[in-house]
Chains A and B, each alone.
Chain A
Amino acid sequence: MSKILSLDAFELGAEIKKRNVSVKEATQAVLSAIEQKDKDINSFITICKQSALLQAEEIQKKIDGSEIDSPLAGVPTAIKDNICVDGERTTCASKMLENFISVYDASAVTALKSAGCPIVGKLNMDEFAMGSTSETSFFGAVKNPHDLTKVSGGSSGGAAAAVAAEIVPFTLGSDTGGSVRQPASFCGVTGFKPTYGKVSRWGLIAYASSLDQIGPVAKTAYDCALITDQISGLDKKDSTSFATEKVTPCLTSNVKGMKIALPEQCFNNKSLNSEVKAAVIKTAETLEAAGAEIEWIKLPFIDYVIPAYYILAAAEASSNLSRFDGVKYGFHPDDCKDISDLYLKARTQGFGAEVKKRIILGAFVLSSGYYDAYYLKALKAKTLIKNKFDEIFTSFDAVLCPTAPSSAPKLGDSLSDALAMYLSDVFTVPVNLAALPAVSVPCGFDSENMPIGAQIIGAAKNDGTVLNIAHTFQQLTDFHKRRGRV
Chain B
Amino acid sequence: MSEISEETAEYAARLARLSLDGADKEKIVSDLAEFVRYMDVLNKADTAQIEAESHISGLVNVFREDVAEEEHFDREKLLLNAPERTADSLIVPKTLE
Contacts and interface: CB of A to CB of B under 8 A. Distances in A.
B10 to A, nearest CB: 9
Interface stretch (A4-12, A133-141, A155-163, A380-388): A380-388
Q: Which of B8, B27, B44, B50 counts the most A-chain CB atoms under 10 A from its CB?
A: B50
B22 to A, nearest CB: 7
Given A311-B39, A382-B53, A382-B56, A363 B19 contact: no
Interface in B30-67: 31-32, 34-36, 38-39, 41-45, 47, 50-59, 62
Question: From DSSP, what is the main secondary structure of chain A's interface residues?
Answer: helix
Contacts of B62: 239
Given A327-B90, A329-B81, A364-B9, A308 B42 contact: yes
Interface residues of A, number: 73
Given A197-B59, A240-B57, A380-B52, A307 B17 contact: no
Interface stretch (A52-60, A217-225, A350-358): A350-358
A419 B28 contact: no
Interface in B53-97: 53-59, 62, 73-74, 77-78, 80-84, 90, 92-95
A435 to B, nearest CB: 4
A90 to B, nearest CB: 10
A347 B1 contact: no
Q: Which of B11, B16, B28, B77 counts the most A-chain CB atoms under 10 A from its CB?
A: B16
Contact of A384 (B8, B11, B45, B73): B45
Interface of A: 99-101, 103-104, 195-197, 210, 239-240, 301, 303-304, 306-308, 310-311, 318, 322, 325-332, 336-345, 347-348, 351, 353, 356-357, 359-364, 367, 370, 373-374, 376-384, 386-387, 418-419, 422, 433-435, 460
A308 B27 CA distance: 23
Contact of A360 (B32, B44, B77, B95): B32
A339 B96 CA distance: 10
Contact of A383 (B1, B12, B51, B58): B51
Interface residues of B, number: 56
A239 B60 CA distance: 10
Given A344-B18, A373-B1, A304 B45 contact: yes
B51 A103 contact: no
A419 B38 contact: yes
Contacts of A331: 83
Nearest to A373: B1
Contacts of A311: 39, 42
Question: From DSSP, what is the main secondary structure of chain B's interface residues?
Answer: loop
B18 A359 contact: yes
Nearest to A384: B50
B47 A381 contact: yes
Given A304-B45, A356-B24, A357-B28, A435 B56 contact: yes
B83 A380 contact: no
B34 A435 contact: no
A342 B83 CA distance: 12
B38 to A, nearest CB: 6
Contact of B18 (A196, A197, A347, A373): A347
B16 A359 contact: yes
Given A103-B78, A239-B62, A344-B17, A386 B41 contact: no
A100 B35 contact: no
22 contacts: A103-B78, A308-B42, A311-B39, A327-B82, A328-B81, A339-B95, A345-B19, A347-B16, A347-B17, A351-B18, A353-B24, A356-B18, A360-B20, A364-B8, A381-B45, A382-B53, A382-B56, A419-B38, A433-B56, A435-B57, A460-B57, A460-B58
Contacts of B15: 363, 367
Given A344-B17, A374-B39, A332 B84 contact: yes
Given A322-B17, A329-B81, A364-B12, 4 more contacts: A351-B18, A367-B12, A384-B45, A419-B34
A328 B9 CA distance: 28
Given A338-B94, A353-B24, A360-B16, A307 B41 contact: yes
Contacts of A359: 16, 18
Nearest to B84: A332
B93 A361 contact: no
Contacts of A362: 16
